[in-house]
Amino acid sequence: MDSIKVTGGAELNGIIPISGAKNAALPLMIASLLTDETLTLSNVPRLRDVAQLMQILSNHGVDYSVNGKRTGQDDLAGQTLNLTAREIVDTTAPYELVSKMRASFWVVGPLIARMHEARVSLPGGCAIGTRPVDFFIQGLEALGADIEIEGGYVVVKAPGGLIGGRVEFPRVSVGATHTIMMAATLAKGETEIVNAAREPEVVDLARCLKAMGAKIEGEGTSTIRIQGVPRLHGAHHAVVPDRIETGTYAMAVAITGGDVLLQGARTDLLESALDTLRQTGAEITATDEGLKVYRNGNGIQPADVTTEPFPGFPTDLQAQFMALMTKAGGKSRITETIFENRFMHVQELARLGAQIAIDGRTATVEGVSTLRGAPVMATDLRASVSLVIAGLAAEGETTVSRVYHLDRGFERLEDKLTRCGAQIQRISG
């Protein structure tokens, strides 16, 4: 297994191109199951999760091709995927595939909508929490599906097709919103999703579905209305920039100091996190080219955050923000409300000298003046990158093992950081 070695202390200066969002690309790829025509997605990041999902979709019968390099493209440009589900040959998503990536459970929406049946393995828990699928089941039942759990599989049937209905989620769920929205595009009549997720990735999926012929209103608000249509067609859609990658690099600059342009980033996708970063002393400016992050080397101010669904502070930036707070000049409180077990980076940050106490859902971080490099490892994607951020600001060498977590969600992290002066390298293991 590869690891990443970071030698801390260097400022970051330069340009980091922001990739397409992983969490938008995955549901967009799944949407290709809704039509027998080709869905072309550009600005798709080159990530392990994307490759894994391609394997899962091919099992259902999706053909795909990847466009080659074009004039003027550099090696960090996103890829263009052409996905065609001319015929769905298998409506089962097996345990071996779904257990590797939770989001693949979302295929249940398009499969039941188009094929009127689906058999999808329950994804199981994961490192950050139990993550049940009860909202998906309630939602599909509200659209007239008949659901049974058999041998670890969710077996969904709707012999005459889905029928539009009212779906009210007990709490905000990104995945359940994606799934019910996709399912409802081909249902008969109108579906109303109440307490829908407002995340930019949901808006991006809705835009793509509309380009495919779906009738959707209200995406980006907490009530989404979908008028079912008999069929969808092919389309071309460019994946929205990754707000979590943007926030991650902004926090890296905030901890090391320096001046970096996050090329292609959009401020409107992460206002809350940027406001918090400003409170810590970082200067953030939106430009035509992206987002400029500057920190002049003065002390980092502490700030408190609570994770919330969009437009609140994202749970996917909680670990990175905690890394930043380990070097703040004072005490900060970080409360996680989305997942019950998303503090696994705390013990690893402590190995670098961070002072963090956990009480239930809240971590209190007492900033220290010096972090010291150490070998660390993490059990999920965002926790892993928080250790890289801390390592960039630590004295000496930090080795982050289990890098495959990072490869799931950060495209060429070490290349992007090296270009800005970081001392970071991958060690093949």
By CB under 6 A, is residue 330 in contact with ligand EPU? no
Question: What is the token pair recorded at 350?
Answer: 């402590």
Site track for ligand EPU across 403-422, x = CB under 6 A: ------x-------------
Of 171 and 236, which has the nearer Cβ to ligand EPU?
171
CB of 197 to ligand EPU, least distance (A): 6
C-alpha pair distances (Å), 170 with each of 44, 138, 148, 194: 32, 10, 21, 9
Is 208 among the residues known to form the active site? no
Contacts (CB under 6 A) with ligand EPU, residues 237-276: none
Q: What is the DSSP string of 344-382?
A: THHHHHHHTT-EEEEETTEEEEE--S--B--EEE-SSHH
Question: H or E stretch including 205?
Answer: helix 200-211
Of 4 and 202, which has the nearer Cβ to ligand EPU?
202
CB of 57 to ligand EPU, least distance (A): 15
Of 6 and 133, which has the nearer Cβ to ligand EPU?
133
Site track for ligand EPU across 183-222, x = CB under 6 A: ----------------------------------------
Q: How far apart are CA 330 and CA 85, in angstroms?
A: 55
Contacts (CB under 6 A) with ligand EPU, residues 119-148: 129, 131-136
CB of 24 to ligand EPU, least distance (A): 8
By CB under 6 A, is residue 374 in contact with ligand EPU? no
Q: Please give the order of strands across the beta sheet that includes 117-121.
A: 92-93, 117-121, 153-157, 146-150
CB of 156 to ligand EPU, least distance (A): 14
Phi, psi torsion values for 424, nearest 5 degrees? -145, 135
C-alpha pair distances (Å), 13 with each of 10, 19, 212, 260, 428: 9, 18, 41, 5, 27
Q: How far apart are CA 367 and CA 345, in angstroms?
A: 16
Q: How far apart are CA 1 and CA 21, in angstroms?
A: 25
CB atoms within 10 A of CB 408: 19
By CB under 6 A, is residue 381 in contact with ligand EPU? yes
Q: Give the interface size with ligand EPU as a residue count (CB under 6 A).
A: 23
Of 23 and 121, which has the nearer Cβ to ligand EPU?
23
Q: How far apart are CA 180 and CA 169, in angstroms?
A: 11
Of 194 and 286, which has the nearer Cβ to ligand EPU?
194
Does residue 403 contact residue 1 with C-beta atoms inside 8 Å?
A: yes
Of 8 and 169, which has the nearer Cβ to ligand EPU?
169
Contacts (CB under 6 A) with ligand EPU, residues 154-183: 171, 173-176
Contacts (CB under 6 A) with ligand EPU, residues 334-353: 338-339
CB of 212 to ligand EPU, least distance (A): 20
Contacts (CB under 6 A) with ligand EPU, residues 19-38: 23, 26
Of 154 and 284, which has the nearer Cβ to ligand EPU?
154
Site track for ligand EPU across 93-112, x = CB under 6 A: ---------xx---------
CB of 346 to ligand EPU, least distance (A): 17
C-alpha pair distances (Å), 17 with each of 255, 260, 261: 19, 10, 8
User: Which of 96, 127, 93 has its CA nearest to residue 111?
Assistant: 93
User: Which of 297, 280, 203 has its CA nearest to residue 243?
Assistant: 203
Q: Please name the amino acid found at residue 245.
A: E
Active-site pick, 15, 126, 137, 350: 126
Q: How buried is residue 249: exposed, middle or buried, by Cβ count under 10 Å (0-12/13-18/19+)?
A: buried
Task: List residues binding ligand EPU (CB under 6 A).
Answer: 23, 26, 102-103, 129, 131-136, 171, 173-176, 315-316, 338-339, 381-382, 409
Active-site residues, by number, are: 126
